[in-house]
Amino acid sequence: FLAIIGFAPVQAQRPPRIFISVDMEGIGGIGTPAMTSPTGKDYALGRKLMTDEVNAVVGAILQRGPADILVNDSHGDMQNLLNAELDPRVTYIQGAVKPFGMVEGLDSTYAAAIFLGYHSRAGTPNGFIAHTGTGAVKGLWLNDIEVGEGELNAAYAGSIGVPVIMAEGDSAFVQQFTRTV
């Protein structure tokens, strides 16, 4: 006697989706404004440092298991990462035509968001290249709290249910971010 018992196919668990927004001023090793400007003499080194930092974080994520990672270049004209040197397992978006700017591509299907290379908000006395947005913004408030780009982006992520699991940048940014968020 042979019985064939049907089982529903086991659906493979989809890997988590991780969103990474990467700015440049708060990247480790960036020490002068010239390293963040396309016309600066050390811009090539700044791009390399930025790309290496993204790859280090991507590598750490993927050591834990598979993940679907989207990297959004979020500095200046948003074409700074060396895409030929980025980990090939990521999806990379670049270019300044992004309705949501630094959080372009982030939606509620992501398990987490990571902010790399961020800087403190406009007017921060000890902030390295402190500014908000293009630099024209002198102050930005959410619910009567002054915020910078990181807090604004975290508020957006939170509004769609995506936790920010890591935010790194210059020391003034980290201090502001942890006090605000």
Active-site residues: which are they? Answer: 131
Sequence-separated (6 or more) residues with CB below 8 Å from residue 68: 14, 15, 16, 17, 18, 91
Which DSSP letter does residue 170 get? S
| Measured distance CA(76)–CA(95) in Å, rounded | 9
Tokens of residue 155, six digits? 């508020």
Per the listing, tokens 């020391």 go with 171
Per the listing, tokens 């800087």 go with 119
- Total residues found in the chain within this entry: 181
Ranges assigned E (strand) in the chain: 17-22, 68-73, 90-93, 112-118, 141-142, 145-146, 164-169
Sequence-separated (6 or more) residues with CB below 8 Å from residue 108: 160, 161, 162
